Amino acid sequence: MKIAIVGSGYVGLVTGVCLADFGHDVVCIDKDQAKIGALERGEIPIYEPGLAELVKSNVASGRLSFATALATAVPAAEVVFIAVGTPSRRGDGHADLRYVYAVAREVASAVSGFTVVVTKSTVPVGTGDEVAHIIATTNAAADVAVVSNPEFLREGAAIDDFKHPDRIVVGIEDERARAVMSEVYRPLYLNKSPLMFTSRRTAELIKYAANAFLAMKITFINEMADLCEAAGGNVQEVARGMGLDNRIGSKFLHAGPGYGGSCFPKDTMALVKIAQDFGSPMRLVETTVQINDQRKRAMSRKVIAACGGDVRGKTIGVLGLTFKPNTDDMREAPSIDIIQGLLDKGARVVAYDPHGMEAAKELIETVEYVSSSYAVAEDADVLVLITEWNEFRSLDLDRLRAAMKSPVLVDLRNVYSFEEASKHGFTYFSVGRPVGAGGTLGLTQAAE
């Protein structure tokens, strides 16, 4: 099939590359000439494991190409995916749909023959209706079926998620689109991936519902971690005991400094606003957003408590900046609020991240960025592990301790154990674990 992807950011690029790898003829379109030029040279604008190799092989095969103008690819396309950003709108938290609507107008003017226009971007319920209206009013002769096909990709594992999805949700209002979308995803039939057809509005709601539920699950276990610290329980064992229940499952039950990234923060806020607009407020999601925002800053107080209550003039070494491992994405990363909280109290912060430092430099200028975990430890009063990159899981603790001014480790991802850290001479603090397991400084103590 001939497919055009409008928007070559994270979602658009991964979608385009994977569809090309399935054998489709794909053109990825973006108005950013520098980005398209880089992609044509084989330079990938984001870090995603395996993506560079897939781009190279599919460009070489002739199945994947790049363009800066819709008119070069859309007329020949059987399917056009809209994969532009829908960030939170400044001032009110609603999803900003101006890019989606602008693309819809351009697509309407360029389509030729029957075309399925697919909204891949995360959009509020009813957006597909508006896209269909825009296309119809822009070009009354356009023969188009507008479809909702939300993405469920995890950064750091996006290619595997695309090729081995739990489900593929397709929202349609025109039955002609069913056969077309079935053909788009036909290569996945071998993996027995469930292709779920539903109404367009239902598909739009499924994406927000899924992300909000996962965000609530993270927030719940973080609040359980606080209770564990206060009551002397172990949140990791609580999570395991919960996760063994098949009705609950073990994923997203890892206590930490709060969720971040490009999806959960903006999607939970957008769902709150959508629900309010429909007069059906979602109190659980509203509270989830508030708790998560507060938690990030609370983690800086935890670090300050580990330093004896005062970090002025002290050197804090930070391991990990991105919101999760295997990505260079700094959007809404907990590290931003944690570091800012430490800087506000007069600390000197030195940081290292395997792939996130260039993005971090644009957000936190007053941090000193170094080239390795061991450089972070040099003369540090405390080390704070914020992002659980694999290379942080087997650090030479003796070498770290020798480089530090004082051997204090605050592990906000529970990567290490109290026994292992203390064996190497560290005073160790973690999240949601009792005295003797690194949980001696809970949020209650940290706030005092």
Which sequence positions are flagged as catalytic? Answer: 263
Angle subtended at Cα 87 by Cα 83 and Cα 90, rounded to the nearest 5 degrees: 150
**CB burial of residue 230 (10 Å; 0-12, 13-18, 19+):** middle
DSSP per residue, 282-328: -HHHHHHHHHHHHHHHHHHHHHHHHTTS--TT-EEEEE--SSSSS--
Distance between CA atoms of residues 117 and 180, nearest Å: 11
Distances, alpha carbon 252 to alpha carbons 234, 357, 445, in Å: 17, 26, 26
Q: Which residues on adjacent β-strands are paired with residue 67?
A: 29
Tell which phi-psi region holds residue 42, choosing left (phi > 0), alpha (psi between -120 and 50) or beta: left
Enumerate the H helices of 41-97 as residue ranges: 51-61
* Residue whose C-alpha is closest to residue 174's, from 131, 206, 124: 131
Neighbours of 318 (CB within 10 A): 29
Structure tokens at 224: 């359980």
Distance between CA atoms of residues 381 and 339, nearest Å: 15
Structure tokens at 368: 């000193």
- What values do phi and psi take at 142, rounded to 5? -65, 130
Residue 205 in contact with residue 125, Cβ under 8 Å? yes
- Contact partners, residue 444, CB within 8 Å, separation at least 6: 226, 229, 230
Distances, alpha carbon 330 to alpha carbons 183, 220, 234, 264, 355, in Å: 36, 23, 30, 13, 10
Q: Which residues on adjacent β-strands are paired with residue 169?
A: 196
- What values do phi and psi take at 145, rounded to 5? -115, 120
Distance between CA atoms of residues 123 and 132, nearest Å: 14
